[in-house]
Structure 1
Amino acid sequence: MVEAIGEHSNLTAEVSIGRERFLAMVVGSLNDVLSDTVGPREVEGFVNLVGMAVAEQILARYLAAAGTARLDLSATLDALLDWNRDLGGDIAISERSEKKVVLDDRRCPFLGFGLDSRAMCRMTSHVIGHMVAESQGYGRVTLADRASRGSRGCRIVIDLEPNACDGGGQSYYAKGDR
């Protein structure tokens, strides 16, 4: 039990927000304020730019750890799996070919934070898309199933060829290939 705060306060319950929940509140509020101010389409462009910046920072760490200037697809997928697990997800590769990779996440690391998880779904898609594109030159990410929409988990389909059947995903290109 926490002592009352201030002379006239009757607050005696401990309120635990914590760093992660606070950051989730910031991200959720930023998404809401931007959406209300500039509109959902502009927010998507903004989230894409933020996703690219975050992907570059994450990729730089994995490149430094690998001691290389570019990750191949296997190393990129390993980095994505490691990154997701580090966030608290439970992700695995369920399908892999030269044309497509399917990731299944049985535990979304962002559910339960009281924020609009769709914003974090978009951010995750952008980070994955940008990292795959930097590795392969191109990647299209489709969020086929989402825990934030009531599915048991998340299914992320990554097409590695631009001419693959479009499942409604977002295309990403390496910086030098735009």
Structure 2
Amino acid sequence: MIFRALSDTLEETVGSREASGFINLVGLAISEEIEAEYLRAAGTSRLDLRGTVDALIDLKRRMGGDFYVIEETERRVVLGNRRCPFGDLAVRSPAMCIVTSHVFGHMVAESQGYGRVTLADTIARGANGCRIVIDLDPDAPDDGGQPYFGKADA
């Protein structure tokens, strides 16, 4: 897997902190490409919230994950996952979870104007499954999430 080789090589060469920064940049670039593909498939310039959530789940399913909706309101989306799409790589390199955060955050922010992604529970940190909280309201309590802002007004 490309991510495994990239992550391992970077961590061995420049260390975990620098590797994490590079993976952040890669995650953002990937998210823009992925979003463009879903927009083309939907024939629209912006997905609504339901379309965005469906796209996130579909994307992770295609990668081998088993994501599902725990909660979905106009203020918040909570997704669960039973199988890591990165396999054992995430356990060895939890920074891979940042790729998920960036892809989810970017796509939600572009469709909704704002999204804050909190990786509440992750398989990489020893949980049985993942729980990803996506707040759509910038005034919602922050539990250490990463904020993302859309390029256009939502």
Q: TM-score, normalised by structure 1?
A: 0.78
Deviates more, 1:65-74 or 1:25-34: 25-34
Q: What residue in structure 2 maps to residue 127 of structure 1?
A: 103
Equivalent residue for 1:145? 121
Are 1:75 and 2:54 an aligned pair?
no
Secondary structure (helix, strand or coil) at the match of 1:165 reads coil
Who is 2:82 aligned against?
106
- Paired residue total: 153
The verdict on how the C-alpha distance between 1:116 and 1:96 changes in structure 2, with shifts beyond 3 A counting, is: same
Whether the 8 Å CA contact 2:90–2:96 is kept in 1: the answer is: no
Question: Which residue matches 1:16?
Answer: none
Q: CA RMSD in A?
A: 1.9
Relative to structure 1, is the Cα distance of residues 176 and 44 closer, same or farther in structure 2, using a 3 angstrom cutoff?
farther
Given the alignment of the two structures, is residue 49 of structure 1 paired with residue 28 of structure 2, yes or no? no
In the superposition, the TM-score normalised over structure 2's length comes to 0.90
For residue 158 of structure 1, give the secondary structure of its aligned residue in structure 2: strand
- State whether structure 2 residue 38 is matched by structure 1 residue 62: yes
**Percent of pairs with identical residues:** 55
3-state DSSP of counterpart to 2:95: helix
How far apart in 2 are the matches of 1:151 and 1:115?
10
The residue type equivalent to 2:74 in the other structure is: E
Extract unaligned runs of 5+ from structure 1.
Answer: 1-19
- The alpha carbon displacement at 1:30 in A equals 4.0
> Residue deviations 1:33-71, cap 9 Å, x none?
4642xx61x544433322111011001110110011111
Would you say the 8 A contact 1:110–1:117 is kept in 2?
no
Change (3 A) 1:154 1:61: same
Which structure's CA Rg is the greater one? 1
Contact 2:118–2:132 (Cα < 8 Å) also in 1: yes
Contact preservation (8 Å) 2:7, 2:19 = no
1:88 to 42, 61, 64: 64
